[in-house]
A and B are shown apart, each in its own frame.
Chain A
């Protein structure tokens, strides 16, 4: 059996699950065990088939062969003159492809997705049967969309998944739609995502106008073979694509939806807003790496946005008190790292960080869900504390994931984050696209953000799990470790957070570059550009000496350790919470600035939203005054003209008719007198008439 020919089935399983749960279980309110079975089957089969297909494809066809399964011609029609002067037919196929990037994404999306399904069974068991079915239906639908997104072999199919995950995130964030703020958060996510989707859509149109095709396997080799021809177009397409990525992956200025997205159930936060959906933007940028490498401008924009987002989100995360909000801002910050990596040309590092981030962030979110579950829905870390002894499994997995995100050696996040920082430094040292100083600055941002990350993550750990419980006695009695359906995924993800990074082991440092498995695996995706390797976007291997690289490694470890030490000093031991309070008082403006997230939401409300409302009002006024005025004017004219034509009808037309009648009346007035009404009279007339006729006949003698 050729599993790799069945990759189209991978998204179909969750889709079926979503349909059954959404249309049958939800309507009929079937028992939770039925819903469980369907949802687990939908995601589990996708996982098994996905892995089987990937393994078989890698072994039988080899990772250098992009395997495309084309199902049918999706839409076609018309033709277009494209950039190179030839005429291209519009013909887009519904097809899926298996190549190293999509394989990697499928592998962890199905796997992490499956674990989160399992976890959700434990987490959502208090919901009503119908809400439960609705939840799992959405979750499966999300899996479907995400798999379509990563498996699609052209931009159109990718866009279907792209929109699908946007829809599912709206549905799941607004899952508790009875609460107004949850529904509002859902809408916010959807609208902000739409802004990004607009960019992606324009990018698709631009791609078609330039290349005459949307197939990845057609446009990228073409672009890579003629870098000079397509350089200008690549800037436009790259920037438009990045607008889409900004929206989906929550980068400045469109990151505002992600923290609000925590309104959804916690497993949703883990699945969508940490492990998979938000990585779609990174995936897309990596997928289109050829386009970006042709355009230094687009690369620079990606790197700057990524670097800024990494540090801005990290600073906000420092002072938040909602456990999920801290994790949300940390997600935004980590996504910034990924874009920084993509922006400096380290696409492999970007995907590597996506992968490790999926492990440790899913683990962190599921851990926080476990904590919230134990604290009866409480999310404020100031009302937690000392949970370590009540829920050891959650604690240890949470700690492992925290060490991973902080970048402590051996743990997964260390390898990926360190590689990103090293590549950013290399970009500066190698004077990439002659923007050396900018790239050095971005590397410095990344370094500072690494310190901040370690600090706020360990703040979370210390405040939540250490010290004394601060939530009152009543709540303390309820503290318990979560059921096995919740802890099992935690343990799996915790283990992966520890060891998952080894697939990207920086063998280069030990003169064994071949130890870096992920780089070798993803190598076919990074197409060589032009004739030589030294053209745009490629950094010389020897821009940074080995010694300096080791120095960078130690520097980043030191940065992380410093952050942890700071968090320990602030939140542990006798003087816990004293220093932060003093600091907050001394720099009260800065504290309030961070606590209120730079007032970005307020600024948006005052500018963009108020502006939109003003504009809408203006348009409404225009509608009411001008458009309606024209309509009403027309109506008035019609009434007036009907009035005139009514008078005409009455006087002229009716007058003519009446005139005819009148003329008959006048003409017949004298004849009326003949009709006297006496039969005798008529007889008399008849007799005399006959007599006269006889007389005439007699005289004339006819």
Chain B
């Protein structure tokens, strides 16, 4: 079986949807963060697949950038979690409702 770009795109789509659903339905902040990471990597997979298919390195470069940014984002996200734990003694996202109108 020959693995084509279509396969990558489908896998990428599945991973993205899994991440999206995780973000939308889970209440645990850590799980949400992990789901976000899954979505980043779905995008990365897509970028690398097309880079390979089109023989253009800029896609891979962009993927490296995304990983870098994702690392930073995780750092901030973990900081927020610790702050939340300190204030509310929990990691449940719906407890963070101070700004509710």
- A677 near B97: Cβ-Cβ < 8 Å: yes
Shortest C-beta distance, B101 to chain A (Å), equals 3
Given the interface contacts A680-B25, A680-B93, does A675 sit within 8 Å of B99 by beta carbon?
yes
- A687 near B24: Cβ-Cβ < 8 Å: yes
A531 in contact (CB, < 8 A): no
> B97 — which chain A residues lie within 8 A by C-beta?
677-678
Nearest opposing residue in chain B for A668, CB measure: B101
Given the interface contacts A687-B20, A687-B24, does A679 sit within 8 Å of B93 by beta carbon?
yes
Q: What string of 1s and 0s marks CB contacts (under 8 Å) between B76-98 and chain A? A: 00000000000000000110111
Q: What string of 1s and 0s marks CB contacts (under 8 Å) between A643-674 and chain B? A: 00000000000000000000000000001111
Residues 14-54 (chain B) with a chain A CB within 8 angstroms: 20, 23-25, 27, 32
A676 in contact (CB, < 8 A): yes
> B23 — which chain A residues lie within 8 A by C-beta?
680, 683
- B96 near A679: Cβ-Cβ < 8 Å: yes
Given the interface contacts A687-B20, A687-B24, does A680 sit within 8 Å of B101 by beta carbon?
no
- A678 near B99: Cβ-Cβ < 8 Å: no
> A687 — which chain B residues lie within 8 A by C-beta?
20, 24
Q: Give Cα A677–Cα B20 distance, bound, in whole angstroms.
A: 19
- B94 near A672: Cβ-Cβ < 8 Å: no
Shortest C-beta distance, A620 to chain B (Å), equals 72
Partner of A684, one of B24, B32, B93: B24
Shortest C-beta distance, A681 to chain B (Å), equals 9
> A683 — which chain B residues lie within 8 A by C-beta?
20, 23-24
> A684 — which chain B residues lie within 8 A by C-beta?
24
Nearest opposing residue in chain B for A679, CB measure: B93
Q: Give Cα A454–Cα B94 distance, bound, in whole angstroms.
A: 128
Partner of A676, one of B24, B27, B98, B100: B100
Nearest opposing residue in chain A for B98, CB measure: A677
Q: Give Cα A591–Cα B82 distance, bound, in whole angstroms.
A: 118
- A677 near B100: Cβ-Cβ < 8 Å: yes
Given the interface contacts A679-B32, A680-B24, A683-B23, does A674 sit within 8 Å of B93 by beta carbon?
no
Q: Give Cα A112–Cα B96 distance, bound, in whole angstroms.
A: 110
- B100 near A675: Cβ-Cβ < 8 Å: yes
Chain B interface residue number, banded: 10 to 19
- A672 near B24: Cβ-Cβ < 8 Å: no
> A676 — which chain B residues lie within 8 A by C-beta?
100-101
> A677 — which chain B residues lie within 8 A by C-beta?
94, 96-101
Q: Give Cα A679–Cα B97 distance, bound, in whole angstroms.
A: 9
Q: Give Cα A677–Cα B98 distance, bound, in whole angstroms.
A: 7
Q: Give Cα A683–Cα B24 distance, bound, in whole angstroms.
A: 6
- B101 near A672: Cβ-Cβ < 8 Å: yes
Shortest C-beta distance, B79 to chain A (Å), equals 16
> B20 — which chain A residues lie within 8 A by C-beta?
683, 687
Nearest opposing residue in chain A for B100, CB measure: A677
Shortest C-beta distance, B2 to chain A (Å), equals 29
Q: Give Cα A643–Cα B76 distance, bound, in whole angstroms.
A: 57
Nearest opposing residue in chain A for B29, CB measure: A679
Shortest C-beta distance, B88 to chain A (Å), equals 13
Q: Give Cα A550–Cα B93 distance, bound, in whole angstroms.
A: 141
Q: What string of 1s and 0s marks CB contacts (under 8 Å) between A62-98 and chain B? A: 0000000000000000000000000000000000000
Nearest opposing residue in chain B for A684, CB measure: B24
Q: Give Cα A418–Cα B70 distance, bound, in whole angstroms.
A: 134
Shortest C-beta distance, B18 to chain A (Å), equals 13
Q: Give Cα A684–Cα B23 distance, bound, in whole angstroms.
A: 9
- A674 near B25: Cβ-Cβ < 8 Å: no
Q: Give Cα A37–Cα B67 distance, bound, in whole angstroms.
A: 109
Q: Give Cα A675–Cα B97 distance, bound, in whole angstroms.
A: 9
Tell which of A673, A676, A679 has the most Cβ of chain B within 10 Å.
A679
- B101 near A678: Cβ-Cβ < 8 Å: no
> B93 — which chain A residues lie within 8 A by C-beta?
678-680
Shortest C-beta distance, A664 to chain B (Å), equals 14
> B25 — which chain A residues lie within 8 A by C-beta?
680
> B32 — which chain A residues lie within 8 A by C-beta?
679
Residues 229-276 (chain A) with a chain B CB within 8 angstroms: none
> B96 — which chain A residues lie within 8 A by C-beta?
677, 679
Shortest C-beta distance, A403 to chain B (Å), equals 120
Q: Give Cα A672–Cα B94 distance, bound, in whole angstroms.
A: 18
Nearest opposing residue in chain A for B20, CB measure: A687
Given the interface contacts A672-B101, A673-B101, does A678 sit within 8 Å of B94 by beta carbon?
yes
Q: Give Cα A380–Cα B16 distance, bound, in whole angstroms.
A: 132
Q: Give Cα A638–Cα B62 distance, bound, in whole angstroms.
A: 76
Q: Give Cα A684–Cα B93 distance, bound, in whole angstroms.
A: 14
Shortest C-beta distance, A677 to chain B (Å), equals 3
Partner of A675, one of B24, B27, B94, B101: B101
Tell which of B24, B96, B97, B99 has the most Cβ of chain A within 10 Å.
B24
Shortest C-beta distance, B93 to chain A (Å), equals 5
Tell which of A671, A677, A678 has the most Cβ of chain B within 10 Å.
A677
Shortest C-beta distance, B11 to chain A (Å), equals 20
Nearest opposing residue in chain A for B26, CB measure: A680
> B101 — which chain A residues lie within 8 A by C-beta?
671-677
Shortest C-beta distance, B17 to chain A (Å), equals 10
28 inter-chain pairs at a CB distance below 8 angstroms, sorted by A residue, are: A671-B101, A673-B101, A674-B101, A675-B99, A675-B100, A675-B101, A676-B100, A676-B101, A677-B94, A677-B96, A677-B97, A677-B98, A677-B100, A677-B101, A678-B93, A678-B94, A678-B97, A679-B32, A679-B94, A679-B96, A680-B23, A680-B24, A680-B93, A680-B94, A683-B20, A683-B23, A687-B20, A687-B24
**3 closest Cβ contacts across the A-B interface?**
A677-B100, A675-B101, A677-B97
Q: Which A residues are closer than 8 A to B by beta carbons? A: 671-680, 683-684, 687
Q: A673-B101, A677-B100, A687-B20 are in contact. List 5 more A-B contacts (CB 8 A).
A: A676-B100, A677-B97, A678-B94, A679-B32, A680-B27
